[in-house]
Chains A and B, each alone.
Chain A
């Protein structure tokens, strides 16, 4: 790791100021991804502003919804009683993430900002447009079993690794930011950017901007998270689905579906939702929704199975919805 400077801050405004005024500065909270990115040479910062002492770690639930501080730890959120009762997709996605140790360390804000685990991005000696713009994408013709089938470009097909972001996307959550120009809000839907011609830009976050909170409207419906991987646990998703389904009298009144592992960003599928909205939740309808989801999929040499798998996973998750689960 290259040497870097370090300071601590006490107030959000002070944090933004410090990040803006210190050349090459970045925030460090949990550090669970940032330190590996710096070890891997995927990122370097001349200075880290330690924001762990900011008062942004609380979780509060009201009739309007849930407000999660940007510095709330994953475990803290997953264990929160309201989260478990009213936002189970969130608790399930969090507890399916990483390891118990990392969930004690990593924050909600940091989780949204974690970067792809693409092996080429994490290898400073490999070509990667996300890490070194213009150097090329090694994954297109390389080892791409873990890569995206949706939302890719000729410059990048890396997946976003967050489970939390997938759940928040299905919940229509909003990210609260504080930057040099003051506070602003960005829906999670749109927070992460597809690679396009600029795969090195992951999110809409501006320099020195800080995630202060995530607001989650209280869903009127039940929600669940399904995560598939190559070992039992402690692994990033091969395919994951967050579903919020309002089922009345056997018909889908409303549905929100978000997917992990298949897209270059946490992936929302309005097409699949449209198929299901108003329809009875039959296997046939779910299969049609699955086909709508993958209509524009671009499989590569090793990841083609995800196209089939995600459709099956959708059936798995939704076909039991009307039952006792």
Chain B
């Protein structure tokens, strides 16, 4: 599966073959995923230390951002796109605070490079609500007091959305296991489990 399947989008994605950083090595090519010109990808190379403009589809919007290859998706979201709802807890995949959805699946955004996620649909906690209407998981987290300080909450909420979608919210024990990739140091776990179970019932309805 070289291309993740994704829903058709209303707008057209354009390849931006422009580099923002020109170094002594010359102009960098941009390896944006472009369905129309797949060969551009294999030729596209970013040299060490160079930045390239890439397009990330975040919360249904195409966002152009200039990044070096070493920039993680997390740092692209937080430091370049101002989407600070996604939190950096450990920056090494061990706490889950940075969990976002990529093409509907939960991933740790600190463990993936932004350049690797061109062409994917990224959903962050900011994109979960439908306007003023909160997602059932968000509602359930408030109702069950499933957080205290809130530092892990964005990740917990995103993980919970996926956990329910995956079908791993059947029993309390199952929720506990499948929500264990997200640490909560305030330890609201019992309330998180209750919120996920409650939201799962609502989503299923």
Taking Cβ atoms with an 8 Å cutoff, the residues of A that contact B are: 1-11, 14, 28, 30-32, 35-36, 39, 46-48, 50, 52-55, 57-58, 75, 98-102, 104-105, 232-234
Contact B107 A53 (CB under 8 A): no
Contact B72 A4 (CB under 8 A): no
Given A28-B113, A50-B115, also A101-B44 (CB < 8 A): no
Chain-A contact segment, one of B5-13, B76-84, B122-130, B162-170: B162-170
Roughly how many angstroms separate A185 CA and B107 CA in the complex, as a whole number?
A: 32
A-B contact pairs, 5 of them (CB 8 A): A7-B46, A53-B3, A54-B2, A100-B166, A101-B181
Given A54-B2, A100-B181, also A6-B45 (CB < 8 A): yes
Question: Chain A's nearest CB lies how many Å from the CB of B32?
Answer: 10
B31 at interface by CB-CB < 8 Å: yes
| With A36-B111, A53-B3, A102-B181 already in contact, 4 other A-B pairs whose C-beta atoms are closer than 8 Å | A10-B42, A32-B93, A47-B48, A50-B115
Q: Which residue of B lies closest to A57 (CB)?
A: B1
Question: Chain B's nearest CB lies how many Å from the CB of A280?
Answer: 35
Question: Chain B's nearest CB lies how many Å from the CB of A2?
Answer: 8
Roughly how many angstroms separate A232 CA and B93 CA in the complex, as a whole number?
A: 18
Contact A32 B42 (CB under 8 A): no
Contacts of B108 in A (CB 8 A): 32, 99, 101-102, 105
Roughly how many angstroms separate A75 CA and B42 CA in the complex, as a whole number?
A: 27
Contacts of A48 in B (CB 8 A): 69, 113
Q: Which residue of B lies closest to A11 (CB)?
A: B42
Contact B48 A31 (CB under 8 A): no
- Contact mask for chain B residues 92-129; partner A; CB cutoff 8 A; 1 contact, 0 none: 11001001000001111011110110000000000000
Contact B92 A39 (CB under 8 A): yes
Question: Chain B's nearest CB lies how many Å from the CB of A233?
Answer: 5
B159 at interface by CB-CB < 8 Å: yes
Roughly how many angstroms separate A38 CA and B115 CA in the complex, as a whole number?
A: 17
Contact B112 A105 (CB under 8 A): yes
Residues of chain B at interface, number, CB under 8 A: 44
Cβ-neighbour of B31 out of A1, A7, A58, A102 (below 8 A): A7
Contact B107 A101 (CB under 8 A): yes
Roughly how many angstroms separate A53 CA and B32 CA in the complex, as a whole number?
A: 12
Contact A3 B48 (CB under 8 A): yes
Contact B116 A50 (CB under 8 A): yes
Q: Which residue of A lies closest to B162 (CB)?
A: A100
B49 at interface by CB-CB < 8 Å: yes
Given A3-B68, A8-B31, A8-B42, also A100-B159 (CB < 8 A): yes
Which residues of B17-76 are within 8 A (CB) of A?
A: 31, 38, 41-42, 44-50, 68-70, 72
Which residues of B144-170 are within 8 A (CB) of A?
A: 159, 162-163, 166, 168
What 8 pairs across the A-B complex have the smallest Cβ distances? A99-B181, A6-B69, A7-B45, A3-B48, A3-B49, A53-B2, A104-B105, A5-B48
Roughly how many angstroms separate A72 CA and B2 CA in the complex, as a whole number?
A: 11
Roughly how many angstroms separate A14 CA and B92 CA in the complex, as a whole number?
A: 30
B180 at interface by CB-CB < 8 Å: yes
Roughly how many angstroms separate A1 CA and B163 CA in the complex, as a whole number?
A: 32
Contacts of A30 in B (CB 8 A): 111-112
B91 at interface by CB-CB < 8 Å: yes
Roughly how many angstroms separate A28 CA and B116 CA in the complex, as a whole number?
A: 9
Roughly how many angstroms separate A104 CA and B69 CA in the complex, as a whole number?
A: 21
Given A8-B44, A234-B181, also A100-B168 (CB < 8 A): yes
